[in-house]
Amino acid sequence: MPERIESVELRAALARMRRATGLAVVFGGLLHDGRRLRIEELSGALTPALRGLAISTGSGLGGKCVALSRPCAVVDYPSARHITHEYDGPVSAEGLRSVIAVPVVVRRKVRGVLYGALRDALPLGERVLDAAVSAARDVEQALAVRDELRERAAGTGLGRGAGLEPGPGIGLGAGPGPGGVPSTSWEEVRQAHGELRELAPRIADPELRARLMAVCGRLETASAGPRRPADVSLTPREVDVLAAVATGATNAVAAERLGLRAETVKGYLRSTMRKLGAHTRLEAVVAARRAGLLP
Q: What is the CATH number of the domain that holds 116?
A: 3.30.450.40
265-283: pLDDT as tens digits? 999 999 998 888 888 787 8
Residues 215 and 120 in one domain: no
Three-state secondary-structure class, residue 118: strand
Cα separation, 14 vs 114, in Å, equals 7
Higher pLDDT, 230 or 175: 230
Compute φ and ψ for 174, nearest 5 degrees.
-85, -20
Cα separation, 39 vs 17, in Å, equals 16
Residues 17 and 128 in one domain: yes
Q: How many other CB atoms are found less than 10 A from the CB of residue 154?
A: 12
Domain membership flag for residue 45: yes
DSSP lists the bridge partners of residue 99 as 74, 117
What pLDDT sits at residue 220?
65
Q: Tell me, yes or no, if the pTM score tops 0.85.
A: no
238-254: pLDDT as tens digits? 988 988 888 778 888 88
CATH number, residue 212: 1.10.10.10
Residue 187 binned pLDDT confidence (cut-offs 50, 70, 90): low
Residues 280 and 181 in one domain: yes
Domain membership flag for residue 131: yes
Domain total for the chain? 2
Q: How many other CB atoms are found less than 10 A from the CB of residue 61?
A: 26
190-209: pLDDT as tens digits? 667 767 777 777 777 777 77
Residues 169 and 210 in one domain: yes
Domain membership flag for residue 270: yes
Cα separation, 171 vs 289, in Å, equals 12
Domain membership flag for residue 153: no
CB of 222 closer than 8 Å to CB of 190 = no
**Best-predicted range by mean pLDDT among 23-37, 108-122, 150-164, 165-179?**
108-122
Burial of 224 (0-12, 13-18, 19+ CB in 10 A): exposed
Residue 25 has pLDDT above 50, yes or no: yes
Higher pLDDT, 251 or 177: 251
Q: How many CA atoms lie within 13 A of 257 on its CB side?
A: 25
Domain that holds residue 137: 5-146
Residue ending a domain, among 112, 146, 180, is 146
